Structure 1
Amino acid sequence: MKKWIIFSGTDWFRPSVTSTRQIMMQFRQKGYQILWVNPIAFKSPAVNSKNRKSMQKKILNKLQTHLKFIRKADQGVYILVPFYIPLFNGAGDKINDMLIRLQFAIITLFLGIRIKETILWISGSFTLSPVLRKPFYRKIYQAADFISDFRTNNQTLLQELRKKEYYLGTHVDHLFASSPNIRAKLEHLTGRQVTLLTHGVNFTHFNTAGEVNPLMLKVKASGQPVAGYFGTLSDANDKEAFRILANNGFSVVIIGKVLGDYSSLENLDNVFFTGPVDFKELPSYAQAFDVCLLNWIMADWIYNSYPVKALEYLAMGKPIVSCPIPIVKELFGSLVYFADTPEEYLEKALLALKENSRELSEARVSAAAEHTWESKFSIIESVIR
């Protein structure tokens, strides 16, 4: 008999592989069949877009994703991109809840999924909240972020998100949180026990040296040190940090889909936008970084977070300059440089180059090796069993 787990996580079609995707891979190795349900938007693209260009990029990205509906991604892995009405109000929620229930019933019937023997795993959205009353074998909410601390000044939206997160958090069997801050906030919101499940790393993938991508060899040929970043680029990133590094002797390599307005950097000769890079190819680019960046503008969303790429950078033995994220400080404070301003990113990047050594590189690798996804999955198994 087939074992099924249904995931609702981030956009499957983004090249970055999130923590929920990594957890999915662990379940896949244990013989589970996978149904991945792509998220529907819980806010208008106009929210938190700094200008029209940022908003247009977000809308285009959504449209490209929703040209797909159901497809088989791999043996035993199916992707559902649900149809929904982009109305972000009470009436829109009721319509979309009905649409989700209908599409969910159709796809589970089509795939022969027996709900009572199936695990439901939700992370990052409220897409599958309408099916939470179904009698799943286990229902899990993984809070990789605290959704109701979303980056916005729209208090009405934040109140709605808090209600939805409360409903989600009180209608599952188990709660996981990726950082102590998120755990504390989720426990306060729901009044329930939350298990700390910090992120892991695909250690072998990032630690195994291979050939450097030809593009990066061209960048390195300038003789300038390379400051690099990979991941989705939004208006939450500190763009001024990129600019100051580029104007002071660094080649800046920015890898990922651009969803914000980065026009201020596009004319700088030593800033290189590669676009999205497949996860399989990512180490061939990133191993050419001399300094790795975690440069976001501090807000509650970032303060609570635990970026997976911190571990991925460490697994390569690379120096990191980061905004002051508490969990990164707690776990890796002696191995990471922290900056509060764009000018400090430059200062700490130069210091990182000066202090870098084989011993420090080995210490970073050793720290990452203690946080593999295999070790995190053992925590999951002990809880849900």
Structure 2
Amino acid sequence: MSALSGRDVVCFSNDWDGDPLSKMHIMRILARDNRILWVNSLGNRSPRATAGDARRAAKKIRDAAGGLREVEPGLHVLAPLYLPVYGGSAVRAVNRLIVRLQILAAMRRLGMREPISWSFLPSAAPIAGTLGEELVVYHAVDEFSAFSDASRHVRELERELLLKADLVVTSSEKLLASKSKVNPRAVLVRHGVDHAHFARALDPGTQVPGDLASLAKPVVGFFGLLADWVDLELVRAVADAFPRASVVLLGNAVTSLAPLRGASNVHVLGRRPYALLPGYCRGFDVALTPFRLNELSLHASPLKAREYVAAGLPNVCTDVPELRAVPGCTVARSRSEFVAEVGRALAEGGPRRERSELVRGESWEARVDELRAHVAVLLDGRRAA
């Protein structure tokens, strides 16, 4: 049996039904020759008395009631029930027990033994290492302590998980530097891209959705969660600088959009399905990655950057360190430079196939091959010992 082939993997991550993130891409590929048990998010904080948290709680209850479900060949999803409260040692002990029992029951049902636990979230720390694992992997894709709603509890959980891990995978150089201080068995595997999917933007047969096609050209576009790490003041500066352009934002808004009020050429269209994003990219002339520069973004590796380039789009970015390593991205170091680069990109005239080719070799399959190699080195070292 080769490394990461014919094995059982218990994956702790975000809820399966969300937007396709790095975790989904990786586990979908691994499911081709492994069995995957995907455990929906255990939560990194206690819920608040808000409509959004109430909706999430109701959905988690519905998902848990649905039991273990196979969402794709070789990939099952478990939505465990747990007490959504943090801080007290007694509650933590109860949660660890009830979640562990639910996972072990799912493993028995699937015939899993000695799995690799692959954790993308610090909240997996109490369970990781208690399932009879062959290996414990922590895959760090964000600086969780830098999220605006992060608590000391999250930092404690991540440290616990880092100390347990046989292998720590990081998606950016800054994450590698940070996590290797706690666990030297850390490696860098950058995010990939579903190149074939986004390159459909260059296919003449790909239709631009009607809500975008009806807007004035040129189009400066963005897709992704509109959260507090997106610099909406910078987006407004672009809209003001190019009043004849349509500035289009696709994604759910979880932060105030006040900076965009009164800008008649800004169109917030809401979240659109992943399957339709190539069509929207075909209708864009320039793409934006306008992240604020803070501890969260400085450690981040935004997925959308490679997706924009795969779609052939010029991509103007703020100076997030990881984006300097993405071919085809134009990094701006000030607001005025950002606006000027958007102007230059608009003059280039939209998607181009040669730009898309820059990231063809950075597929998710290639990234999973890197992961297989790191696991092989670890297992070979154990056998040699």
Same fold by TM-score, threshold 0.5 exceeded? yes
- Report 1:1-385 matches (<5 A): 3-14=7-18, 16-29=19-32, 31-44=33-46, 56-69=51-64, 70=67, 71-91=69-89, 92-114=91-113, 116=114, 118-127=115-124, 129-151=126-148, 157-158=151-152, 160-190=153-183, 192-208=184-200, 209=203, 210-219=206-215, 222=216, 224-247=217-240, 248-249=242-243, 250-262=245-257, 265=260, 268-332=263-327, 335-341=329-335, 344-355=337-348, 361-385=352-376
The 3-state SS of whatever aligns with 1:121 is: strand
The 3-state SS of whatever aligns with 1:276 is: coil
Shift of 1:267: 6.6
- Equivalence for 1:49: none
Query: Any conservation in 2 of the 1:151–1:299 contact (CA below 8 Å)?
Result: no
* TM-score where L is the length of structure 2: 0.85
Structure 2: any 5+ residue segments left out of the alignment? 377-385
Distance 1:68 1:263, change over 3 A: farther
Q: Percent identity at matched positions?
A: 25
* TM-score where L is the length of structure 1: 0.85
For residues 279 and 182 of structure 2, the distance between their equivalents in structure 1, rounded to whole angstroms, comes to: 42
Distance 1:211 1:195, change over 3 A: same
Shift of 1:58: 4.7
Query: Any conservation in 1 of the 2:318–2:332 contact (CA below 8 Å)?
Result: yes
For residues 120 and 173 of structure 1, the distance between their equivalents in structure 2, rounded to whole angstroms, comes to: 10
Report the number of matched residues: 362
Runs of 4+ deviating beyond 6 Å: none
Shift of 1:339: 4.7
Structure 1: any 5+ residue segments left out of the alignment? 47-51
Distance 1:109 1:357, change over 3 A: closer
Query: Deviations along 1:57-110, whole A, 9 cap, x unmatched?
Result: 354345334421133323332211222222221344333222211221222223
Shift of 1:307: 0.9
The 3-state SS of whatever aligns with 1:280 is: helix
Residue identity opposite 1:374 in structure 2: E
Query: Deviations along 1:108-142, whole A, 9 cap, x unmatched?
Result: 2233322x1x2221113323532423321222111
For residues 235 and 149 of structure 1, the distance between their equivalents in structure 2, rounded to whole angstroms, comes to: 12
